[in-house]
Amino acid sequence: MPDPAPGTIQGDRPQPRLGRFVLIAGAVFALVLVAGTLLRLHARHLLHASTQAAAIPTVSIVHPGGMAMDRLVLPGRLQAWYSAPVYARTNGYLRRWYVDIGQKVQEGQLLAEIDTPDVDQQLAAARAVLATRTAQRDLAGITTRRWDRLNAQNAVSQQETDERRGNFAASEATRHEAAAEVERLQTLSGFKHIVAPFTGVVTSRATDIGALIAAGTSAAQPLFTVSDVVRLRLYVSVPQAYAARMQDGMVVAFTVPDYPGRTFQAHLIHSSDAVDPQSGAMLVQLVYDNGENLLKPGAYAQIAFTFPGTDPSRDNDLVRVPASSLLFRRNGTTVALMDSSHHVKIQPITIVTDFGTELAVTGLPPQSAVIDNPRDDLRDGDAVEPREPEHPHGA
């Protein structure tokens, strides 16, 4: 066995495996450190991006609808051409009624009879008083004529003759008073017969046989209601913006829930020519020929006005937007628009007609992207994100 070289110690050998292990561990640690740093940077970038995205509000976009100002649909009510509540004019008990609701009646037709024993007794007494006053008048007349003959023969004084003439005049006056009372009670007794005031249909009956009839009291209610439904009045309140377009004779279409899908025609006969300060509308009266007896008084109707004579140059500037898109600023009424780069532009507008949920406005081109239900803090230049899908207004 050869001797070890000088300067070396036996057993002090290099350990290459341990060095490689240290190098590998250091490399792994460095990779872990770099990976963790990259992950944190990526997470920070995602957080920043999401924060920026959250700061951009999402908005709903609508496009202004084309203006169709030649058509206006409003609610209205149908009413009978004539409608008369029939009251009793005398006291008593209802003896009998001859018509019921829904029956057609002719003018002067007997509707009911009232038993009036009090009035009958008063009439009998008044007639007896009239007979007494007539007898007294006749006696005073005979006496006056007799005294006139005696006065002509100078058998009695002129004073006594004048007294007899005065008694005759007083008797004649009291007889006229008694006759007037008889006529009054006869008229009152005639009210026991309840008759139809005109040709029509009985639309209500609020009495029955034996019911107590008390006329002339605040609690009195009509015994019957008679309505003429050959023609019907149609009342509708028109907004002030359309008041000038209401012309007598114009034909309008309307619908009723009774006949879905069917359209009826009426024509305008009168308007109030005054705007109600509370509602800002003018009352308009139309008439419908109900010869077929299809429609009923008191029914609800939807009336559609059409205005063929509108100004095309004016209508081209008008568009419709939802009322929920309005913004009220110091400089007036505005809406918020979104441009092609998804930024806000505040646009002033002028409201021409208020349709309730929609408004007719000027100052907007039809292709504008209007933000619906905008936030109050939106300003010019703010970035927004449109909500998908974007539907045109009114689609």
What residue type is assigned to position 2 of the chain?
P
Query: Residue 75 above 90 pLDDT?
Result: yes
Position 331 in a domain: yes
Output the CA torsion sign for 286, 289, 292, 297: positive
Q: How many domains does the chain have?
A: 2
The CATH number for 355's domain is: 2.40.420.20
Q: Please report, for residues 7, 123, 140, the alpha-carbon distance to residue 191 in angstroms, rounded to integers and kept in the order given.
A: 156, 13, 36
Task: Identify which has the larger pLDDT, 163 or 360.
Answer: 163
Position 230 in a domain: no
Position 78 in a domain: no
Whole-prediction pTM value?
Answer: 0.55
For 150, the domain range is: 117-191
d(CA 203, CA 393): 46
d(CA 99, CA 206): 12
d(CA 357, CA 370): 15
What confidence score (pLDDT) does residue 54 get? 53
Output the CA torsion sign for 363, 369, 374, 376: negative
Final residue belonging to a domain, choices 191, 214, 246 = 191
pLDDT digits (tens, 9 = 90+) for 83-106: 999 998 888 999 999 999 989 999
Q: What angle do CA 310, 313, 319 make, to 5 degrees?
A: 85
pLDDT above 90 coverage of the chain, percent = 36
The CATH number for 167's domain is: 1.10.287
From the list 102, 112, 110, 109, the residue with the least C-alpha distance to 229 is 102
Task: Identify which has the larger pLDDT, 72 or 307.
Answer: 72
What confidence score (pLDDT) does residue 373 get? 87
Mean pLDDT of 279-299: 91
pLDDT digits (tens, 9 = 90+) for 150-206: 888 888 888 988 888 899 999 999 999 999 999 999 988 888 999 999 999 999 999
Position 97 in a domain: no
Position 154 in a domain: yes
Final residue belonging to a domain, choices 164, 191, 218 = 191
Position 341 in a domain: yes
Mean pLDDT of 334-342: 88
Task: Identify which has the larger pLDDT, 47 or 84.
Answer: 84
Give the tokens for residue 114. 């009232």
Position 226 in a domain: no
What confidence score (pLDDT) does residue 183 get? 93
Final residue belonging to a domain, choices 191, 211, 242 = 191
Q: Please report, for residues 25, 27, 31, 43, the alpha-carbon distance to residue 35 in angstroms, rounded to integers and kept in the order given.
A: 15, 12, 6, 12
What residue type is assigned to position 74 of the chain?
L
23-37, 332-346, 360-374: which has the minimum mean pLDDT? Answer: 23-37
What confidence score (pLDDT) does residue 329 get? 82
Q: What is the 8-class DSSP label of residue 199? A: S
What confidence score (pLDDT) does residue 389 get? 46
Peptide bond into 348 cis (omega under 30): no
Task: Identify which has the larger pLDDT, 77 or 19.
Answer: 77
202-211, 236-245, 304-313, 320-329: which has the minimum mean pLDDT? Answer: 304-313
Task: Identify which has the larger pLDDT, 17 or 361.
Answer: 361
Mean pLDDT of 323-348: 87
Position 93 in a domain: no
What confidence score (pLDDT) does residue 30 get? 78
